[in-house]
Chain A
Amino acid sequence: EDKVVQSPLSLVVHEGDTVTLNCSYEVTNFRSLLWYKQEKKAPTFLFMLTSSGIEKKSGRLSSILDKKELFSILNITATQTGDSAIYLCASALGGGGADGLTFGKGTHLIIQP
């Protein structure tokens, strides 16, 4: 059974801290790993990672994939209260058909002023 596990499940830090969110996966036909941020209703797309060792960056956020060890991390530097959200990791499968995404349960990040 395909599995995506995120840790920690929740995290409270102070503004300005740097955080690292973890995502490990066990899936067959792995194609890519995606990170989403969910603030209110719907998740919004952050990164898609397909290749090992290549860091993707967007402002203060960055992410990297290790396909040998089957995990990914999401880093947020100089955190702000607006970074408070649930961060979701998902694996996308290859093969025929759409197959959907397998999501982890998310990390609830709270940034205190």
Chain B
Amino acid sequence: DVKVTQSSRYLVKRTGEKVFLECVQDMDHENMFWYRQDPGLGLRLIYFSYDVKMKEKGDIPEGYSVSREKKERFSLILESASTNQTSMYLCASSLRIGRGYTFGSGTRLTVV
């Protein structure tokens, strides 16, 4: 079974801090994604990557950046954390577009 691992389950950061969320998958998947999930808004795509060093903006990229230096690792970066970025962040990977995605277990980020 493919495994997607997010490095932290819970994080508490201060406003203005630079925050790194790490995601690693172990099945050589080409595509990786970062979503955030908020009550009443569902899952929204922040960024995705379909190859090393390639990245594309999703629906809500403002305030975020990403890094994919190695195929197995996709990092989400909050350049200057704000309280409205308090959310559950989910990383996912897939072998091909349109196939079932595998999600990590999520990182609950609180910005105070």
Contacts and interface: CB of A to CB of B under 8 A. Distances in A.
Contact of A34 (B50, B101, B104): B101
Interface stretch (A13-21, A59-67, A73-81, A93-101): A93-101
**Among A90, A92, A93, residue most surrounded by chain B Cβ atoms (within 10 Å):** A92
Given A41-B106, A42-B90, A88-B43, A101 B56 contact: no
Contact of A98 (B43, B48, B106): B48
Interface residues on A, range: 20 to 34
Nearest to B46: A100
A111 B67 CA distance: 41
B54 to A, nearest CB: 8
Contacts of A105: 40-42
Given A31-B98, A42-B103, A48-B98, A100 B45 contact: yes
B105 A103 contact: no
B5 to A, nearest CB: 11
A98 B56 contact: yes
Nearest to A35: B100
B40 A92 contact: no
Interface string A31-71: 11010000001111100101000000000000000000000
In the A-B complex, the 5 residue pairs with the smallest Cβ-Cβ separation, listed nearest first, are A105-B42, A42-B103, A98-B31, A98-B50, A103-B43
Given A92-B98, A106-B42, 16 more contacts: A32-B99, A41-B9, A41-B88, A41-B105, A42-B104, A42-B106, A43-B90, A45-B102, A48-B98, A90-B43, A97-B50, A97-B56, A98-B31, A98-B48, A98-B97, A99-B48
